[in-house]
Structure formats: C-alpha cells, structure tokens
Amino acid sequence: MPVVELAGVTKAYDSKLAVDNLSLTIEAGQMFGLLGPNGAGKTSTIRMMIGITIPDSGQVRLFDKPFERAILSRVGYLPEERGLYKKMKVIDQLVFFGELRGLTPEESKRRGLNWAEKLEIADVLQKKTEELSKGMQQKIQFICTLLHDPGLIIMDEPFSGLDPVNATLLQDVLIDLKNQGKVILFSTHRMDQVEKLCDSICLINNGKAVLAGKVREIKSRYERNQIVMEFEGNADFLKSSEIAEAKNYSGHAEIKLKPHGDAQKVLHEAASMAKVFRFELVEPSIEEIFIETVGGKVDA
Amino acid sequence: MRNLLLIAKREYLEQVRGKAFRLSTILIPVLFVVIMGVVVLAGKNTAVGKHIAIASEDPQLAARVQKGVLDQKELKATVDIYAPAQPSMRDTLLKGLQDKSIDGFLWVEQAADGKITATYTSESSGDIVISNVLTTSLNDALINDRLRANGVTQSQIDAALKKVEVQTMQVDKEGKIVKSNGVVSYLKGYIMALLLSMTTMIYGMNVARSIIQEKTSRIFEVMLSTARSGDLLAGKLIGVGAVGMTQIGIWAAAAAALAGTALAAPLMSGEYAVHFTWKEGILFPIYFILGYLLYSALFSGLAATCETEQELQMYTPLAAVPIWLSFSLIFLVINDPNSIWSIAASLFPATAPIIMMLRMGSQMPPDWQFVASIAIMIFTIWGVLWFSTKLYRVGILMYGKRATLPELLKWIRYS
C-alpha cells in the first residue's frame, strides 16, 4: 500500500515555480530520500504533503486516502528549522506536544520518559529548553516528532548540527523504526548522508523530479567507471590511455575511466610498475549521478 | 477545539508563571497610586514658596489685595507690598525678578482720568493660577474701595462680597437627587480609562510579541503540522486575554479586600469618596475584552509580517493613536458627556472603551448606547480578525525579510 502519493503536484510563489508537476510514491516499510540541492523545492513539497500549504494543482494522498487533516495524527514531522518553546520545561514541552497529537497527559509523560531514556537525556527533563545545548534540543524535537508513534515520519535535514555520536544514535533509532514497519521520509541536500540508509529516492532540482526509484536500480543503471587504489612505486600507469582523469594523493589514487575504459588493463599496467595494495572498482555516488543527470547545472 | 484550548492553556500558564506577570501585577497598581498621589499633592500645593510683590500708589488697596491672595486656600505664596509705589520701583522689581528674589509682581496704577490698570509680570508665561487669584483679589479690593467711598460701611461691604459656593447635585436614574462631585467623577472616569488603556495596550502588544518570538524560534512549522493556523491564533488570543482578566481579577480582589480596611477609609467616605457601581464592575471587563481583542487582532496580523521585535516597534505609534485620541477628548467628554461628539467617540470602535469609561464616571450613558457600541466593536473585531488571520496564515511561514505592502496584499489573496 502506498503511504504517500503525490500526483502532478505544483506550487508557485509569485512567478517562481517552487514545485513543478511533481509525482512520487512511497511504499509502506520504506526509507525514502527526497534529495536535491538547496532551494530545489524539498521543503515546499513536504509542506504540501502535510497540509501546511495547499498545492495549486495536483493531488496529495496519505495512507491511500485523499489528504485530510485528521490523518495528521499518523504523521510525525521534524522540520528543517527546529522550533521549541524556549521558556518551557522539557517535560512540559513533551506533554504539550503529546496532547496536541491526541495523547492523554499521563500517556505523553510516560512515552516522553521512555524516549528520553533511550536518547540519553532523561536528566534534563526538568530543565528549561533554553538552558540546553543545540544537540540536546534537537533530540527533544526528535522525541516530539515520534511521541505519538506515527506511521509516517518526515524528517527535513535530520542530522544537521548533530555530532557524529548523536547522529549515529538517531540513525539507529530510525533503522529500528523502519524495522517496525514505519515509513521514513528524509529530505536533505547532503545526499551522501542518507544514501546508505534509503531504499528509494527521488532527486529533485528546480521543483522537478530528475531521478526516482530504488537506490540499487538507479546505481545499477550507471557504469562502474571509477577506481580507488592504493599502491607504492612508479605512478606512470596513471597516464594510461584508458584513464580520463586521475588524482594521486601519495599512493592513494582516485581514477575515472574513459567511457567503456578497461579496468583490467589499468590493473595490469599498475601491477607491472608498482606494488598494488588495493584496487576497487566503485559505483558512482548518488551525488555524482545527480550532477551527471542535471549536467552539472545545479541551482544551489 | 481541543487543540485551541490546549494552545490557550499553554499560553496562559507560560505567561502567568512568568516573572513579568508577577512584577506587573504588583508594580502597576503601585505606580498608579504613586502617580495619582503626586498629582493630588501637586494640586494641593500650587505656588508653594512663591514670592510675589504687589506695588500700588494706594497702600490700602495693596494691603487688601495682599489679604485677598493670602486668604485663598489653594495658594500658599509669600506676598510683599511696595506702596506707595514710585515709578522708579518698577526697575527695582524687575531687577528682583531677574535675580530671582521675587517670582512675579503686580503693578497697579491709576491714570489721571481715574482709570485703573494692572499688570502682572513674572518669569513664567503660564502662571494661570496666580494671575486668576490676583485678578479676583484686586477686583474685590477695588469694589470694596468704591463702596466705601460711597459711604457703605465695612460690615455691609463684607456681607455683600461674601462668596456663595454653588453645590453640584445630580439626578440619578430613579429620579433621586444626590450630591455630586465633579472632581470625583473626573477622577473615577480617569482611573477607569487609564487602567483600561494600560491593560489593553500591554496585553495587545503581548500577543504581538509572542507571535514574533514564535516566528523567530521557528515553532510554527511544527505547530502547523498539528493545528490549524486559525486555532493557533485564536488559542493565543484567548490565552493572553485570560492572563489579562486574571490580572484585573487580582487587582479587583485586592481592591475589594482593601476597601474594608482603615487604609481605604479616607477614599471610601468624605468629600472625595469614590464608589463603583455593579454596572461599572460588569462593563469594565467587557470593554477590556473588546478593546484587547481589537488591539491584539490588529497587531497579530502586523506581527506576523515582521521579522523582529524592533520591526514591530515601528507600528507602536499606531497602537497609541486611539489612546491619544481618547485622552485628548477627556475634557469635552467629562464636561458634556451627552454631546454629539461624546456619543460619537463612544461608538467609534477605536475610542469606545476609554470614552465609555470616562462617560460612566460622570453620568451613566443610556443602555442603547452600550449595546450599540459593543455591537459595533464586535463587528469591527470580526472584520479585523478576518484580515489578520489571512496575514497571519502566510506571514508566520515567511522568513528572511519584512513584507512590503504589495506583498501583503498578495498574501491576503493567497489565503
């Protein structure tokens, strides 16, 4: 069952088309990446998805039904611009957001405490939000998003501003949630960050979808024409006629082959001149595929 | 509805628990009493320590003017006599004025044809109280002299010049004649109007500030994924309004508790007794709510278009206009609470709350005027809210720069 379906959604502000005839489908149990550079139309798309703004044309369906506000009780949204009531105590804040989502105060409190323990912030619950670090506040916002156990979790730039330890902690929580059957939608311009997490993606630029589908399928469409290698000795093999571009960082080389270039030939030449420790034919990253698709013309 | 109440409750608790609420609940009445005390005290001590000279060719006339001035209860000045005055004395007095040994002098002279002229020279131009007292005293003294010259005895003159004070009475609704006191009516109306304008302004601006803070902290995006923008705005208006009502309630309860104590005895009895009727007790909160809603409805829309509190401050003079307008009409309304201007101002929504308070102080307006002014206000609030909600809906999600007028018009069309 598709959990999110956008059909030909368009939104214009003044004369600028923020989202241009965008269609996408997110199936149940998926981690989905809505990717694109800054200003591509990601936030505008999400706002229409959850009824903050209304599309000029096109249709939004959530949980296989046309959008209606009542369905928002099954959606959790973490916006890019984090917002909490600064003067409120953390626990009061959690209870307030829980109640807004239809929970009783007692249930909100119970779930808030559970989550706080899981995310290692149980000791700050009695503090005012403004007294906490940015990372802590982000964790609280994260809990506010998940408190009502939503089936669809939308996260706009979820890892921005987090240190690697906390980013990993949140990643693990999200993987857990996915394993429980929740749908998670990431929106980010840091494509490398979510590439390994997402099952499917939609790449957008200037409000239009430029690439969509399962990550594996998209990548398999693109040739493995890049080599990462580590070696010691003569580097003259990097001038091979098979190679389009090569960067050598004192024994660590990143090589791009010419179209239909022969990797085996490069390996052979390298082995004849130098001692090879590592030779890996890598697939292009989503970011590289994106840049190749839009022809390097990214409005960032 | 559930979300609206949750939002109102959150807003209410946050503000009531805040330091600003506790401080203003105590400080506003204290400031109020201090200011009123200073005004009353200053009024009682007009011209204290002032040094006046009276110069006349006729020492008897000068002495009688001096007595007249000193007999005035409200004036506590020192009065010297320069008589019989020589023309050269004028320079001495002017010098005295310059070196500040005197504050002013009255120069009385008689022309050859018997015509008397008098001039009062002082350093300040607005010495209205002193010049009024001098005029009365001089004229009384001259009448006295003229009557004596015509053979009337001093006791007859004193009897003839004895002042009669006009007592003011008022017919109340039941047709009973009761003693009225213009000063008290004025004070009562003034106190109610001042309290109302202060609370309306404070809480109206409170809503605006709170919207800007939420916009700056980017909380709207989260809130809008849960609640409608209309619920957000209505919840805020109700929550902050309830805070205002709580504060007024605390003041009223404190005033009621104090009314029974010895401290309030001088206020509750005697010449300056201030009594409030039950009708005033009901109408005050009604006009507070209406005034507050009008202000906050207007300012919530404007606040949504601003990025910072500094930007919002540009609109503050606009908030003060109805209050300036209302208070500039104060004498007109108190002197003639039933004039066409007074009635018009009490029906005009921006000035209605304050003017109605002033009118109630001197004479209770007819019921139809209350009904009409409340109805007009409700209608206006509805209209302003309609516009503001549209601005609010778009404005709270617009970051980066302050919207221009053409953009605002577009926002109204968008939503």
Q: What is the total count of domains within chain A?
A: 2
Tell me whether residue A190 is in a domain: yes
Q: Are residues A108 and A21 in the same domain?
A: yes
Tell me the shortest Cα–Cα distance from A142 to chain B, in angstroms: 11
Tell me whether residue A191 is in a domain: yes
ipTM: 0.77
A254-284 confidence digits (pLDDT tens): 898 888 888 889 999 999 989 999 999 888 8
Distance CA A167, CA A146 (A): 16
Q: Are residues A94 and A182 in the same domain?
A: yes
Domain boundary among A184, A219, A254: A219
User: What's the pLDDT score for residue A300?
Assistant: 40
Q: Are residues A57 and A185 in the same domain?
A: yes
Chain A 94-153, CB below 8 Å of chain B: which residues?
A: 96-97, 99-101, 141, 144
Q: Are residues A227 and A112 in the same domain?
A: no
Distance CA B294, CA B292 (A): 5
User: Is the omega angle on the peptide bond into residue B84 within 30 degrees of 0, that is, cis?
Assistant: yes
The DSSP call for residue A122 is G
Q: Are residues A178 and A195 in the same domain?
A: yes
Domain boundary among A199, A219, A239: A219
Q: Are residues A53 and A156 in the same domain?
A: yes
Residues in chain A, pLDDT under 50: 298-300
Give contacts of B399 with chain A, Cβ < 8 Å.
81
Distance CA A135, CA B286 (A): 47
Q: Are residues A85 and A233 in the same domain?
A: no
Tell me whether residue A299 is in a domain: no
- A86 at the B interface (CB within 8 A)? yes
Tell me the shortest Cα–Cα distance from B4 to chain A, in angstroms: 9
Q: Are residues A129 and A251 in the same domain?
A: no
Q: Are residues A121 and A254 in the same domain?
A: no
B65-101 confidence digits (pLDDT tens): 888 888 876 677 788 888 788 888 888 888 888 888 8
B358-410 confidence digits (pLDDT tens): 888 777 888 899 999 999 999 999 998 888 888 887 777 776 556 667 766 66
Tell me whether residue A273 is in a domain: yes
Query: Which residue range is the domain that position A232 belongs to?
Result: 223-282
B213-233 confidence digits (pLDDT tens): 888 877 888 888 888 888 888
User: What's the pLDDT score for residue B87?
Assistant: 83
Q: Which two tokens stand for residue A16?
A: 């600028």
User: What's the pLDDT score for residue B278?
Assistant: 78
Tell me whether residue A294 is in a domain: no
Domain boundary among A219, A244, A272: A219
Q: Which two tokens stand for residue A226?
A: 């890049």
Q: Is the distance from CB of B83 to CB of B124 less than 8 angstroms? A: no
Q: Are residues A204 and A232 in the same domain?
A: no
Q: Are residues A193 and A71 in the same domain?
A: yes
Tell me whether residue A173 is in a domain: yes
DSSP track, B209-257: HHHHHHHHTT-HHHHHTTS-HHHHHHHHHHHHHHHHHHHHHHHHHHHHH
Contact A79 B14 (CB under 8 A): no
Q: Is the distance from CB of A20 to CB of A207 less than 8 angstroms? A: yes
Say which CATH number the domain at A194 has: 3.40.50.300
**Partners of residue A61 on adjacent β-strands:** A5, A66
**Partners of residue B192 on adjacent β-strands:** none
Q: Are residues A129 and A149 in the same domain?
A: yes
Q: Which of A77, A21, A73 is nearest to A49 (CA)?
A: A77
User: What's the pLDDT score for residue B373?
Assistant: 93
User: What's the pLDDT score for residue B130?
Assistant: 81
Average pLDDT, chain A: 87
Tell me whether residue A251 is exposed, middle or buried, using C-beta atoms within 10 angstroms of its C-beta: 0 to 12, 13 to 18, 19 or more. middle
A199-255 confidence digits (pLDDT tens): 898 989 888 888 888 888 888 887 778 889 999 988 888 888 888 888 989 889 989
**Partners of residue B206 on adjacent β-strands:** none
Tell me whether residue A300 is in a domain: no
Chain B residue with the nearest C-alpha to that of A46: B225
In chain B the domains, ranked by start, together with CATH numbers, are 2-41+181-414 (no CATH), 51-163 (3.40.190)
Considering only the beta carbons, identify the residue of A83, A99, A100 that sits closest to B218: A83
Say which CATH number the domain at A252 has: 3.30.70
